[in-house]
Each structure stands twice: as C-alpha cells, then as structure tokens.
C-alpha cells in the first residue's frame, strides 16, 4: 500500500512570517495600510488598495461570517480524503478582510452563507504549524 502524502505545510517567508507566527500563538494577524486605512489579506509588501508600503500588523478579533463556501466530497490529494466531506469557505472577518479556510466542528449540511463564525487554529499533523480555520460562533 502506498504511503499517503502529508498535508501541505506553509513555508513562512519574510512577508508572511508574522501571520504564521501569530497563528502558532493563537492570534489571527493581518495587515492594515497606514496611508488609506484599509485591511488586506494575504500579507504583501505593498497595499493592494493604494500601493503604499506603510503596512502594519494588527490582531483580528477572530469573528466574522461565511461569504461563500463549497462542500468538498472528493479530496484534491489523498491526505485530505479522510476529512471528506469537508467545507472550504471564504470568510469575511469583521476587520474588513476575506480569507479562505475550512469550517471545522460543523456538519457541512449546516453551513450557510452569512453564518457567524470565529477563528480557531488547527495543528497541521507532522509539523509545528497551526493553520487558521473557523468554527461556528
């Protein structure tokens, strides 16, 4: 029997490191522009709204709502097969940013657009990295 490939683990770089380190501390960090005041996700070296480079890291409250979602019945790689069916969602956090994640601790049939959720952190097996996900609020 073939060995199942491990789930992918993020490789933090100079720009994303504060985000991933925050996740390991149980904190969802995001960037906000000092010039235009808007939030952005994922981390970049310039503001996607005004191209300024005055970006600061902030801590999100971790609350938001499902903007869209899909129930995955057929895993993209073998290491996700045991999780099916699972929910892949776009979540709007209250701070004004959208991120993609899984909805945990919830029957996929119960997920709805607009459903309130809160960020939780899933330890990726075989690594020391926690992944921001959400669960029903």
Residues binding Zn ion (CB under 5 A): 33, 35-36, 47, 49-50, 52
State in angstroms the smallest separation of the CB of 44 from Zn ion: 11
Measured CA to CA, the distance from residue 7 to residue 124 in angstroms comes to 7
State in angstroms the smallest separation of the CB of 128 from Zn ion: 33
| Cα-based distances in Å from 125 to 13, 15, 64, 108, 121 | 21, 24, 26, 22, 12
State in angstroms the smallest separation of the CB of 38 from Zn ion: 5
State in angstroms the smallest separation of the CB of 42 from Zn ion: 15
Measured CA to CA, the distance from residue 52 to residue 86 in angstroms comes to 38
Between 58 and 112, CB nearer to Zn ion: 58
Burial 42-64 (b: 16+ CB within 10 A, else e): ebeeebeeeeeeebeeeebebbb
Q: Which residue has the tokens 């902030």?
A: 58
State in angstroms the smallest separation of the CB of 61 from Zn ion: 21
Residue (of 82, 60, 84) closest to 134 by Cα position: 60
Between 26 and 37, CB nearer to Zn ion: 37
Between 47 and 87, CB nearer to Zn ion: 47
Between 52 and 81, CB nearer to Zn ion: 52
Between 37 and 126, CB nearer to Zn ion: 37
């Amino acid at each position: 029997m073939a060995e199942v490939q491990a789930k992918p683990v993020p490789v933090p770089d100079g720009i994303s490191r504060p985000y991933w380190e925050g996740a390991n501390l149980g904190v969802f960090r995001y960037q906000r522009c000092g010039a235009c005041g808007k939030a952005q996700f994922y981390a970049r070296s310039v503001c996607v709204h005004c191209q300024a480079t005055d970006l600061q890291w902030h801590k999100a409250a971790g609350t938001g709502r499902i903007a869209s979602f899909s129930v995955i019945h057929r895993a993209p790689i073998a290491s996700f097969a045991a999780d099916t069916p699972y929910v892949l969602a776009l979540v709007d956090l209250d701070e004004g940013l959208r991120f993609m994640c899984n909805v945990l601790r919830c029957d996929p049939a119960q997920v709805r657009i607009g459903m309130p959720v809160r960020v939780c952190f899933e330890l990726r097996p075989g690594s020391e990295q926690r992944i921001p996900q959400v669960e029903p609020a």
